Each structure stands twice: as structure tokens, then as C-alpha cells.
Amino acid sequence: MQAPIAVKTPAFPIRSSQESAPRHTVASSGPVRRVLLLGAALLAAVTSASAAVTDLSGTLTQALDTVVGAGNSGRLTANTKVYFGGTTAASNVDLNSYQFTINNGGGNTQTYNGALTGPGTLQLNGRYAADWGPDIRLGGTVANSPTSVTLTEGHIGLNKTAGVDALAGPITVNPAGYQTARIGLLKSDQINDASTITSTSGVGPFHFVMGGFNETISGLVIKTGDTVDTGSGAIGSVLKVTTLTVGGVSKPKGAYTASSGFVIGTGYIDVDNYGPPIIAEKPGEPTNPSPVDAASTVNPAYLAKLT
């Protein structure tokens, strides 16, 4: 006859199914605690692995996502430059108070859809011939938040979800020599409302290409020869600014259109919430519309809307 099987009594009590369990039943010692601690450690390891951070410094000789790893993020430990064309990156980068330079070396388009977060400086060096399409694109659904931005040359395309900041902080445009710099909107509201754009006295021209989209910033400072291109649609782009300085001259409150000499297209620059560039003598009957100031003309599209 087979010997009876011995049943080892566990070190912790077995609760009857009829017995109502208290809300907290974890003991301070014993096998249950060891299992829970092991599970917590494994969870922490998985979480850490899925959110790995790669330290970045110097010049990266590979694409950003290749260096950082898919699904991971980067953190600057010194000034860092990405020098790699023809790539689309989704990695987030913590600038960590350093300068992050995107330089395509005159090569193919680079697209960055991750979040580039400050504090720290974002420097953008595109192709010397900015008449080409955007050669550095900032896209994605999460805001960039550098402390400041510098653009030396090239055509920068801003393509975040409308209302999400692709650029933030004071933006300095400083093209040297024959080089040209352009900032182009691919959707509306790409720049933080508190930002300023300042085109310095560098030799090269700066063009803000709005492409029919709208934008609001705190201030715009451009030099003689720089332009704001509002597009050629029936109703062009509107750039709202609190302050406007052109060629060293501060412009008064008003709406500035193509006749100003620094605006291109059918849209306008609205300084200090002036509104559209038209005044009608009678509501609905603009028989003698007049410009809002000496540097403005009546926009036919707005005239048509009021008739």
C-alpha cells in the first residue's frame, strides 16, 4: 500500500473562501513580501529599459535615432551637433542647458519630430541656398521648449500640430555674407506667443514665409530688405505682433500690407491688435475705404467681405 502523501503546512495562514479578506493583507516578512519585492524590481527594470536615456556630446556621426535607440531619449552633457542629412528622427532630447546644433551640411532634408526641451539653446544651420524647400523640419505633436533659438542659414519648416510650439524663446536670425535664412510655416501657430524674432545686421537677408497660415509672437525686428511673405491667397496670412521694428524704426500701432515694402502677398501684419487693414465709412457700404496708416493699403479680400 502506498504511503500517504505528506502535506506541508505553509508558513502563512490560508484564508477560507468564506472569510472576508481585509483591504491590506501584505505581511512585513515571509514569502509574499519576497515575491512582491521581486515583482517590483522586475517592473522597475522594464520601466528603466523602456525609457533609457543616452548621454550626448560632441558631433554625432550617425542619425539621432541610431545613436539614441528607438523609443529612447537623449540628454546633452556638452554642446552637441547633429551632422547627418536625409533622416527623420523621433527621439526626444533634453538640452540640459547646453547648445544643440542641427546642421545638415548642405545635404538632404532632416526632420525632427521629437521634443527638444530646455533649458538650452537650439541652433539651426541649413543649406546656404534657402530658396530651396525646407531643409530642416521640426514636426511632431509634442512642444519644443528651448530657452533660445539661433538660425544662421537655410530654410526651417515648422510643422508641429497647429498650436504646438516648434520654436520658443527669443529667436535670433543671423545669416552672414550671401547666405539667406527663412522660417516657413507649414501649419498655423508654431511659435510661442511670448517669443521674439530678431534679424540681426548680418549681410544676408531673412524671409518669414507664412504660406497662408497665421502666427502670433511678441515682437518682430527685421532689417531693410527682409520680408514677411503672407501668401497670395484670397485672404493671406495674418502675423500678430505686439511690437514691430523695421530698419531700426519702431512702427506704430496699425496694419501693414504689401505697400509697406516689407510685406509680400495679400495678408498683413497686425501691430498691437489693430485689426484688419480697412475702414469703411458706413457698415456694409465701404464706398471710400481708407488705409489705417500711411504704410497700408486696403486689402480687396476684406473689402469684399464687408460689401
The whole-number pLDDT of residue 20 equals: 43
Residue with cell 531619449: 73
Query: In Å, how far from its chain's centre is CA 268?
Result: 23
pLDDT at 164: 98
Distance CA 261, CA 301 (A): 19
Give the pLDDT of the chain (307 residues) as one tens digit per residue: 445 444 444 444 444 444 444 443 334 455 544 434 444 443 333 333 456 999 999 999 888 999 998 778 999 999 999 987 678 999 999 999 999 999 887 767 889 999 999 999 999 988 766 556 668 999 999 999 999 999 988 899 999 999 999 999 999 998 877 788 999 999 999 999 999 999 987 778 999 999 999 999 999 999 999 999 999 888 899 999 999 999 999 999 999 999 999 999 999 999 999 999 865 444 444 444 444 444 444 444 444 444 3
pLDDT given at position 297: 46
- pTM of the complete model: 0.77
Task: Report residue 35 as a C-alpha cell.
Answer: 515575491
pLDDT of residue 234: 84
Residue 51 is predicted with a pLDDT of 62
- Cell numbers standing for residue 160: 508641429
Burial of 90 (0-12, 13-18, 19+ CB in 10 A): middle
Phi/psi at 154 (5° precision):
100, 180
* 154 neighbors 130 (Cβ within 8 angstroms): yes
Domain extents for the chain? 53-209
Do 48 and 28 contact (CB within 8 A), yes or no?
no
pLDDT at 202: 72
Between CA 260 and CA 63 the distance in angstroms is 44
DSSP reduced 3-state for 14: coil
Please answer whether residues 167 and 140 qualify as being in contact, where contact means their C-beta atoms are separated by less than 8 angstroms. Answer: no
